């Protein structure tokens, strides 16, 4: 029986495209479901949380799904089900989001989600906000994290964001991109991972990352 990948439906805008990309990466090895049913998420072998829009709106939408936060805490934190957050879904892993106020995140990856010019600490000059389009990935020397297996330093992925995570622990950052300075592109700790970019829009590189997540045994 194939594994089940639950893509959480909480009103975010890019659920279907993410689910289609995951299904393409999985082939016949997994069943991909888009669901707002907490019980279905609890039964899943892997969990994906896409996100699009403002941090507080996404956190609010997720909180409004009956039982979802409780199921995520049990499945991901207690039982160790592999989890992948995408874009704002990754940002929700942080302690706080500083978009239009201060908003609590999951606290699974320490740090704050800040507007890009706050990260830079200066006027971005000619660099536009939001950061949109293709940019390269890099990571510290040595073997990349299993999520990035088969990728090369400098491979391109697609970004669309105005805010990014300033991680409290550098070891949680598995990939960065450069846009006025280093920006967190991917994080991982234990069975929890997240990517700031959109793998579903990143062609072959994105599909490789999704396939790696489906094979990942943290």
Active site annotation includes 87: yes
Catalytic site residue from 58, 87, 131, 161? 87
Cα 194 to Cα 82: distance, rounded to the nearest angstrom? 11
**Residue in the structure block whose two tokens are 């991982």:** 188
Active site annotation includes 156: no
Catalytic site residue from 58, 99, 145, 200? 200
Active site annotation includes 200: yes
Catalytic site residue from 103, 131, 161, 198? 198
How are strands ordered across the β-sheet holding 192-195? 30-35, 3-8, 46-49, 83-86, 192-195, 182-189, 173-178
Residues ≥6 apart with Cβ < 8 Å to 192 = 76, 83, 85, 93, 108, 109
Residues ≥6 apart with Cβ < 8 Å to 57 = none
User: Which residues sit opposite 34 in a β-bridge?
Assistant: 7
Specify the length of the chain in residues.
218
By annotation, the residues acting in catalysis are 87, 198, 200
């Amino acid at each position: 029986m194939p594994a089940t990948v639950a893509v959480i439906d909480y009103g975010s805008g890019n659920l279907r495209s993410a689910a289609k990309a995951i299904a393409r990466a999985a082939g016949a090895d997994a069943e991909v479901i888009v669901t707002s049913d907490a019980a279905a998420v609890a039964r899943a072998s892997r969990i994906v949380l896409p996100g699009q829009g403002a941090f507080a709106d996404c956190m609010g939408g997720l909180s409004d799904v009956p039982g979802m936060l409780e199921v995520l805490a049990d499945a991901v934190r207690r039982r160790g089900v592999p989890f992948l957050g995408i874009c704002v879904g990754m940002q929700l892993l942080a302690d706080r989001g500083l978009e239009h106020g201060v908003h609590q995140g999951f606290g699974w990856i320490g740090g704050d989600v800040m507007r890009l010019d706050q990260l830079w600490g200066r006027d971005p000059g000619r660099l536009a906000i939001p950061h949109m389009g293709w940019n390269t990935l890099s990571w510290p020397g040595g073997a990349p994290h299993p999520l990035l297996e088969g990728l090369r330093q400098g491979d391109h992925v697609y970004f669309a964001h105005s805010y990014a995570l300033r991680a409290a622990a550098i070891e949680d950052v598995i990939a960065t991109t450069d846009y006025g300075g280093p920006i967190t592109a991917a994080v991982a700790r234990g069975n929890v991972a997240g990517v700031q970019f959109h793998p579903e829009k990143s062609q072959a590189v994105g599909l490789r990352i999704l396939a790696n997540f489906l094979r990942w045994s943290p």
